[in-house]
Amino acid sequence: MTAIALEVCVDSIASLNAAVAGGADRIELCSALELGGLTPAASLIHAAARCGIPAYAMIRSRAGDFSCSAEELDLMADDIRICEEAGLNGIVIGAARTGQLDVAGLEILCRAAGTMGITLHRVFDTLPDPLRAIETAADIGIERILTSGGAPAADQGIDQIRRYADFAGDRLAIMAGGGIGAGNARRIVMQTGVREIHGTFGSIDEPTDPLIEQFGFSLGRRRTTNADTIRQIKFSLQAL
């Protein structure tokens, strides 16, 4: 049976290094995780390309909804080309309009990606017809969907994640994410049947200087990846 793949979401060089040290199988590279993840800086993209394990970059130009204008899609396509030139393995994208995947917009981004791998992010969890979205994603060449089963966290959406995995079959992978840690990773994998899980797998850092938040340099506490947490999760999943 295929081993369980751990994708670790990072938004700093410290978290990137911790993910690699802990034995992550793949990186999702972002900035601004406190906003759900935005496109990372080019410098971090180049660092991830040299990290020794597959790395995918979040392509999301702003916080907020996932309805992308033509100008935003152009910017995102440019960011994808930067990722490709840097040597990243893939990208993480999402676009939706009126409760459905924005097929035309996603196709623009997929074309820009060329041969890179493509993950559909948790825009999926905002859609009223997820099974239709799975079919659409498979049709346009997306290789995996990240989902918490439409719930705030994956351990609350287990039944739906299992349903999505069964429905998707071998057309694309369903990757569980959202609130996964050492305490629930094994149970989520066993009850959903997924072979990939996603998380920051770390701890929340308390702010050290109240002025940083007061002057608007931070939105609050930051989450940093912990290498030991990744090791614990990998050990707990070895027998599956």
At 113, list the tokens. 């990606």
For residue 11, the model assigns a pLDDT of 95
For residue 34, the model assigns a pLDDT of 87
CATH topology of domain 5-237: TIM Barrel (3.20.20)
Condensed to tens digits (0 to 9), the pLDDT of residues 154-197 reads 999 999 999 999 999 999 999 999 999 999 999 999 999 999 99
Q: Mean pLDDT of all residues in the chain?
A: 93
Distance in Å from the first CA to the final CA of the chain: 8
pTM over 0.75: yes
In which residue ranges of the chain is pLDDT below 70?
1-2, 204-209, 211-221
For residue 55, the model assigns a pLDDT of 98
